[in-house]
Amino acid sequence: MDHPSETDTEPAMSISEAEAVNDTTTKDAADAVVTVTPSKKEATSSQSQQEHVFSPELLKLYYARLFPYSLLGDWLSYTVMSDDHGTTRSTSQQRPFSSKIFSRREFSFTLEPIPGEEIYIRYQSFSNIQELEKAIQRRQPHKIDIGAVFTHPPKDKQAYDPKLFHPVQRELVFDIDLTDYDDIRHCGCTGAKICPKCWTYMTMAVQVMDQGLKEDFGFDHVAWFYSGRRGVHAWICDEEARMLSNEARSAVANYFEVSVGKKNSEGLLSSSSSSVHPMLERAYDVLEPYFCRDVLPADGHGLLATQELWEPLLDSLPAAARDTVGANLKKKWAASVGTSKELSPMDKWKQLLQHLRVKFGLQDENQNDGDANNNSSNNKRPKLSTSASETNKEKHRIAVWPMEVVFLHTYPRLDINVSKMQNHLLKSPFCVHPKTGRVCVPIHVPTVDSFDPFAVPTLNQLARELDEYHAAAAAAAATGTGTSDDKVEHEWQKTSLKSYFEGFRKDFLRPMQKEWRQKERDQAEQDAAMRGDF
Amino acid sequence: MNIVKSSRSSSVPKSVAALDSKNSAATTNINLYQEIPNIEVSLDDFEEFALDRLKVLKKLEQLKMRHVAPEKYKKYLDPLLQKLNDPTKDWISHFVLRLAYCRSEDLRRWFLAQEVALLKYRLSQSNPGSSSNSGGETAITKALKSVLPNVHVLAPEELEPLLPKILAATPSLNMNPLQVGNGRNANSNNNIYRVPFTQALDLVQHRQVFVKKGMAYIPESKLLSLVTARFRSNLSRQLALLSAVPTTPALQRTQGFLKNVATVHAIKDEYLEQGAGTDGVQLTANNVASHVKHMPLCMAQLQMALNKEKHLKHWGRLQYGLFLKGAGLSLEDAMVYFERMFVGKDFNKEYSYNFRHMYGKEGKRANYPPYNCAKIINGNGPNANEHHGCPYKHSTVQDVTAMLNKLGIAPSKQKGIIAQQQSHNYQLACVEHFKAMYPNPPTSVYANDFGNHPNAWFKSSVKASGGADAKMTDSQTIDGKKSNVASGDVDMNDPNSVSP
C-alpha cells in the first residue's frame, strides 16, 4: 500500500468551492454558472496548474463532480437495481433497493487535515452509496480503502461480541507493484518511479493473471485498476470468489506465485519430473514474446545488450552448462563488442539456446509444435526428449533454465499477503493518488498493451477539461449551434474519464448485473414453485 | 455425548453392539468423526478412553520427533492402538479429547497435528499398496466419499482430452490412466477425481494437480492428502467452535479431568511478561547489534538484513521486534534503535505505530508474545526482499552456509547443522547450531527448550557464554548450579522454575 506523505498545499486553483458544491445539486443551473465564471480564470490557471497535480481544492472538485459514486454503488451493492437501464439516474436521487451487502462493507479513510499529519479511520460503513458520498464530501479523504463485508455494519463493531463480528465475504484481490521488480528493472527506475519501459511488466502481469483466473479458476468478473502510481490491482467479484475462505485465498495466491530466482527458489520443476505445470506453460506462451521484445534488447531492459548484464546471466547457468557453453559464449561475445560481428541481443539469445541444445542434446519443441507462425517461435525453450534424459537431473535443470530466465524477468510478482486475508484493505478504485494526482482508473484487459499510465488523467487535467467543456458549450450556445448536452448523465462524461468509466460499466458492471438479474429470476421462480403459485 | 452415571460399568457401553451392526464393515471403515456420539458413557470410561487415546497421540508425536520412518510406526503404535480397536471407544475418546484440547490455540494445534497423523497412519495401514479390497473401494476412497459426497470420477471420454494436461500437472502419476482412457480398463486405482478446487487447497497451492474452471483433477495417488486436508479443516473448525461454547452443567464433573489431561502440553509463554528479558543482559538501543552472536539464525539473519538494507518488511519487523521485546529491549529503546537503523525512512510516520502496537500500546493493546519456532516455521515464508521465517526451512543450504560463515561458525562445524537442514529437521538444525557454538554447555542450559523458541536460544546462549559481555555481577552458571544468583530474579534465571 502507498503511504502518501506530503501534499501540495498551494491553493492556486481556478474553480471556487461554491461552484463545486453548487454543481451537484442542480445540474442545469450549475452548468450555467460554471460556464460563465471559470472561463475568465482559465487562461491563467491552466498554466499555473502544470506542476500542481494534486491539492485539497482539486480533490474537492473531484469528489463533488467527478467521482463515479453510482458505478461504485452499483458494483458494491451486488444487487440488481430496479432502474438498471435507467438513464435518468443521478447521484442525488434516492434508489429503492436494499443495500444489505453494501451497508456491512468496511470503508476506511485516510484524512490529512494538516499537511503531513495523517489520520486513519477504520471500520466505517454506510447504509447506502448516498451516505458514503456525503461522508466523502464532508471528510475529503486523501485515500479510501475498501475492506471486507462483515456480519454486521462495521460502524457498529463495538456493539457486538468480537466473536460474532467477523468478515463474511470479500472480493479476491491481487496487488502487483513495480517496486517488487527492482532487481530486474534495468531502465533506471527504482521504488515508486516508473517509466514506459518498466510498465511493460504490469502489462504482462495483467495478462497472465487475468487468463489464469478465468481459465483455471473459472472466474468471470475480474476488474483491473491502475493503482494511480506504480502498480495494478485486480478485484475478482464472482460470488464464489467473494465467499472464499482465507485458506482458499492463500491457495489461489500461492498457485500463481512463482519463486524463480527468489530466495529459497526450488525452480519450476519438481525434482522428479520433466514436465511443467500447464499454468506455467500457458504463462510462458504469453511472456516469451515480451521477454524477446522488452527485456532482451538495448531499448528494453537490455538483458543481453551489455556485458555487465549478460555475464551474470551466463554465470547463472547450471554448472555443467556454465563451464562449457557459458564460458565459451562469454569469451565470444566479449570479443565481438563494438565490432561488426556483434550479435543483436535477440541473436545472442538464439545462439545461447542453440548452443545448449547442441551441447546437451535437447530437443527443439517446435519440431512437434504447430504454431510456427508465431514470429518469435524459433526462440522457444528447448524441451527435453522424454526418453533417455529422464534420469539426468542436471540435464533437466539445463533444459528448464531458459524458461526460468524468462520467468525471472517477466512473471508477475504478486504481493500475496494482500490476497490472503478476507479483511485486508485495498485502495478503492476511482480514488486519486495524492503523489501523482492520477485517478485509479479501470484497465481494459483486451487492450492492456496500449494502456499508458502517463496518459491517465490527473486532477488538474480533469479540472481543465471541465472548464474547456463548458467553454465550448457556452460558445456553442452563443452561436446557437447547441451541442447535445442531454447525453451527459454524469459530469465525468465531460472529461477524459469517460472512456475509462464507460468501458468499466460496459465490460464489467453490465455483465455482472445481468448475472444477478438471472439469479434473481431463478430464485423468484424457485420461490414461486415452492409456494405453488405461478 | 451424555455422561449419565458415574457408577462403574463394563468398560464398553451397551450400545456398542448396536453400533457395530450398523457399521457392519466397521473394521475397514475409518471414522472421520463427522458425527458426535450420542451414547451414554460412564465417567470412568470417559477418562479411561481419553487416556488411552492420549497415549497413542503422544507416541505419534514422539515418533515424529525422533524421525522414525513411517514404515516403522507399526511396531510402536499397534500395541497402543489395540486399545482403541473398538470403534465406539475410538469414537468417544476422540470427542473427549476434543473437549480437553479445544481450549487454547496451542492445544488445538497439537491435537490437530496428532489426529491428522493418526488418520494418515490408519489410512496407510488399511490400504496396503494397490491391492483393492472390499469390492474395488479402498479405505481412502471410502473416506473421501464420506467427507466429499459429491466427488466426481471422470469417465474415460471425459478424461481423454484432459489427460496430457493432467499428466503435466501431476508428473508423479504413472502412465496408467492412459490405459483407462484408451482401453477402458476399469481399474479403480487409476481413477481421476474431480472436485471443486476449494476441496483440494493443498494440492492446488503447490501446483500438484491440474486446475480448470475452478475444478481440481486429482489422481488416485493424491487422494490421501485430500482426505487428510478435509479432515484437518473440519476438525480445526470444530475445535474453534467448541472452544467458544460455554461449559454445560452436565460437563461440570469432567472439568478437572479435562484440564489436567490437556495441561500436559501447555506451552509456557514465559517470554510474554514485560521485562522478562534475559538475565545477565540489558538490551539497549546501543548493544542490540553486538548480541547477534547470541541469536539463532532466524534472528541473526534479520539483524544482518537490517544492517545491509536499512529496512525490514512487515513480517520481519514483527518477528524481530517481538523477539527483541522478549529479550528485554524496552519500547523506548526499540524505537530509538529501529529509527536509527531505518535510514531514509520517515520512521515516526510510517513505523512508530507499528512498534507501539507490538508492545501493546496501540490498537487492541494486546501484549503480543514473541514468535516460537512452530509459528515461525509454519508461518508465511519470505518473499523477495523479505528475511523473516526459519532459514533452515525457508532458505537454501547455500544461503544458510553463507550466514553461518558470517557468524563465524567453522565450516567443519557446519556439517551437522546442514545435515539436519537437509533432512528437514529445522529445529534440530538450530540445536546443532547451538552445539557448534557451545560444545560443552552447562547442564542447566540443556534443560531449557532452546530448540523451540528463539528467545530460549538467546537466553541459553547468553547463559552458556557466561554473559561475559554483559554487566554481570554475580558468578556464572557454567557449573549448572542455580544457587549463584542472589537477587530475586531466580525465576527468570532458571526456566525450570517458571511455572505458568
CATH of the domain at A471: 3.90.920.10
Closest CA to A141 of A411, A433, A506, A347: A433
**pLDDT at residue number B144:** 77
Query: pLDDT confidence of B494, banded at 50, 70, 90?
Result: very low
- DSSP code at position B285: T
Whether residues A378 and A405 share a domain: the answer is yes
In a domain, A382, yes or no: yes
The end-to-end CA distance of chain A, in Å, is 52
Using the Cβ of B360 and the Cβ atoms of chain A, whether some distance falls under 8 Å is answered with no
A217 and B211 in contact by Cβ < 8 A? Answer: yes
Whether residues A289 and A356 share a domain: the answer is yes
Q: Is the pLDDT of residue A2 over 50?
A: no
Whether residues A47 and A166 share a domain: the answer is yes
Whether residues A275 and A298 share a domain: the answer is yes
Q: Is the pLDDT of residue A261 over 80?
A: no
A118 and B349 in contact by Cβ < 8 A? Answer: yes
Residue A89 CA to residue A70 CA, distance in Å, equals 9
Whether residues A376 and A401 share a domain: the answer is yes
Residue scoring higher pLDDT (A15 or A146):
A146
Closest CA to B116 of B11, B285, B229, B208: B229
Q: Hey, how many other C-beta atoms are within 10 angstroms of the C-beta on B106?
A: 18
- DSSP string over A89-116: --TTS---S--HHHHTEEEEEEEEEETT
Q: Is the pLDDT of residue B432 over 60?
A: yes
Strand partners, A233: A175, A225
Q: What is the pLDDT of residues A19-28, one digit of tens each?
A: 333 333 333 3
Give CB contacts under 8 A, 24+ apart, made by B462-471.
B462/B278, B462/B279, B462/B280, B462/B281, B462/B294, B463/B279, B463/B280, B464/B434, B464/B437, B464/B438, B465/B293, B465/B294, B465/B438, B467/B279, B467/B280, B467/B281, B469/B290, B470/B280, B470/B281, B470/B282, B471/B282
Residue range B438-464: mean pLDDT, rounded: 77
Q: What is the pLDDT of residues B147-173, one digit of tens each?
A: 777 788 888 888 888 888 888 887 666
Residue B144 CA to residue B229 CA, distance in Å, equals 10
Answer for the pair B216, B194: CB distance below 8 angstroms, yes or no: yes
**pLDDT at residue number A365:** 47
B381 and A413 in contact by Cβ < 8 A? Answer: no
Residue scoring higher pLDDT (A508 or A183):
A508
Residue range B394-420: mean pLDDT, rounded: 89
Closest CA to B434 of B304, B303, B301, B296: B296
* Residue B185 identity (one-letter amino acid): N
In a domain, A251, yes or no: no
Using the Cβ of B234 and the Cβ atoms of chain A, whether some distance falls under 8 Å is answered with no
Query: pLDDT confidence of A378, banded at 50, 70, 90?
Result: very low
Closest residue on chain B to A413 (Cα): B384
In which element (H, E) is residue A311 found?
A: helix A307-315
Which residues lie below 8 Å from residue B109, measured CB to CB, with a gap of 6+?
B374
- DSSP string over B190-249: G-EEEEEGGG-HHHHHTT-SEEETTEEEEEGGGHHHHHHHHHHHHHHHHHHHHHHSPPPG
Query: pLDDT confidence of B281, banded at 50, 70, 90?
Result: confident
Residue scoring higher pLDDT (B470 or A66):
A66
Closest residue on chain B to A215 (Cα): B213
Query: pLDDT confidence of A81, banded at 50, 70, 90?
Result: low
In a domain, A531, yes or no: no
Residue B262 CA to residue B101 CA, distance in Å, equals 6
* Residue A515 identity (one-letter amino acid): E
Q: What is the pLDDT of residues A478-496, one digit of tens each?
A: 887 655 555 788 999 999 9
Residues of B within 8 A of A417 (CB-CB) are 314, 380
Whether residues A42 and A139 share a domain: the answer is yes
CA B461, B465, B470, B472 torsion-angle sign: positive
**pLDDT at residue number A154:** 94
Q: Which of B212, B243, B302, B383 to mutate to test the interface with A (most CBs of A within 10 A)?
A: B383
**pLDDT at residue number B246:** 76
Residue range B254-271: mean pLDDT, rounded: 65
**pLDDT at residue number A83:** 46
Average pLDDT value over all residues in chain A: 81
Answer for the pair A174, A246: CB distance below 8 angstroms, yes or no: no
**pLDDT at residue number A527:** 84
Q: What is the pLDDT of residues A272-304, one digit of tens each?
A: 456 789 999 999 999 999 999 999 998 889 999
In a domain, A151, yes or no: yes
In a domain, A233, yes or no: no
In a domain, A510, yes or no: yes
Residue with cell 495483467: A206
Whether residues A397 and A429 share a domain: the answer is no
Query: pLDDT confidence of A43, banded at 50, 70, 90?
Result: very low
**pLDDT at residue number B263:** 60
Average pLDDT value over all residues in chain B: 77
Q: What is the pLDDT of residues A92-138, one digit of tens each?
A: 344 444 448 999 999 999 999 888 888 999 999 999 999 999 999 99
pLDDT above 90: percentage of residues in chain A: 56
**pLDDT at residue number A350:** 93
Residue with cell 460563465: A36
Q: What is the pLDDT of residues A161-212, one digit of tens each?
A: 887 899 999 999 999 999 989 888 988 888 889 999 999 999 999 999 999 9
B211 and A255 in contact by Cβ < 8 A? Answer: yes
| Predicted interface score ipTM higher than 0.90 | no
Residues of B within 8 A of A275 (CB-CB) are 167-169, 171
In a domain, A437, yes or no: yes
In angstroms, the separation between the Cα of residue B391 and the nearest Cα of chain A is: 9
In angstroms, the separation between the Cα of residue B461 and the nearest Cα of chain A is: 28
Answer for the pair B219, B173: CB distance below 8 angstroms, yes or no: yes
Whether residues A305 and A334 share a domain: the answer is yes
Residue with cell 487416556: B51
Q: Is the pLDDT of residue B7 over 80?
A: no
Whether residues A128 and A51 share a domain: the answer is yes
Q: Is the pLDDT of residue B271 over 90?
A: no
Residue range B82-104: mean pLDDT, rounded: 90
Answer for the pair B358, B325: CB distance below 8 angstroms, yes or no: yes
Pseudo-torsion of CA B329, B333, B335, B341, nearest 10°? -90
Q: Is the pLDDT of residue B380 over 90?
A: no
User: For A407-411, A424-428, B271-275, B448-452, which range has the lowest pLDDT when averaged over its residues?
Assistant: B271-275
Which residues lie below 8 Å from residue A281, measured CB to CB, with a gap of 6+?
B168
Q: Which of B165, B172, B198, B213 to mutate to test the interface with A (most CBs of A within 10 A)?
A: B198
- Identify which of A5, A263, A416 has the shortest CB distance to residue B395: A263
In angstroms, the separation between the Cα of residue A306 and the nearest Cα of chain B is: 25
Estimate to the nearest angstrom the gap between the alpha carbon of B146 and the chain centroid. Answer: 26
Q: What is the pLDDT of residues B339-371, one digit of tens each?
A: 999 988 888 888 888 898 888 888 777 778 889
Q: What's chain B's length in residues?
A: 500
Map residue A219 onto helix, strand or coil: coil
- DSSP string over B367-428: -PPPP-HHHHHHSPPP-TT---S-HHHHS-HHHHHHHHHHTT--HHHHHHHHHHHHTT-HHH
Residues of A within 8 A of B215 (CB-CB) are 218
A278 and B205 in contact by Cβ < 8 A? Answer: no
Q: What is the pLDDT of residues B185-229, one digit of tens each?
A: 344 457 889 999 998 888 898 898 999 999 999 988 788 878 888
Q: Is the pLDDT of residue B131 over 50?
A: no
Whether residues A399 and A510 share a domain: the answer is no
pLDDT above 70: percentage of residues in chain A: 77
CA angle (B188 as vertex; B182, B192 as ends), nearest 5: 70
Domains of chain A: total: 2
**pLDDT at residue number B254:** 81
Which residues lie below 8 Å from residue A374, measured CB to CB, with a gap of 6+?
A289
User: For A416-425, A503-512, B368-377, which range has the lowest pLDDT when averaged over its residues?
Assistant: B368-377
B169 and A278 in contact by Cβ < 8 A? Answer: yes
**pLDDT at residue number B153:** 86
Residue range A425-440: mean pLDDT, rounded: 95
- Identify which of A218, A257, A277 has the shortest CB distance to residue B169: A277
**Which sequence positions of A are flagged as catalytic?**
106, 175, 177
Whether residues A374 and A431 share a domain: the answer is no
In a domain, A108, yes or no: yes
Q: Helices (H) and strands (E) in chain A — how many of each?
A: 19, 11
Residue A82 CA to residue A84 CA, distance in Å, equals 6
Q: What is the pLDDT of residues A388-400, one digit of tens each?
A: 444 467 777 888 8
Residue A254 CA to residue A277 CA, distance in Å, equals 14
Residue range B106-124: mean pLDDT, rounded: 88
- Identify which of B201, B211, B384 has the shortest CB distance to residue A248: B201
A263 and B212 in contact by Cβ < 8 A? Answer: no
Instruction: Provide the residue range defining the domain that includes A85.
Output: 15-170+422-441+455-520
Pairing of strands B215-219, A382-383: unpaired
Whether residues A400 and A435 share a domain: the answer is no
Residues of B within 8 A of A279 (CB-CB) are 169, 207, 211
Which residues lie below 8 Å from residue A450, measured CB to CB, with a gap of 6+?
none
**pLDDT at residue number A327:** 93
What is the reported pTM? 0.69
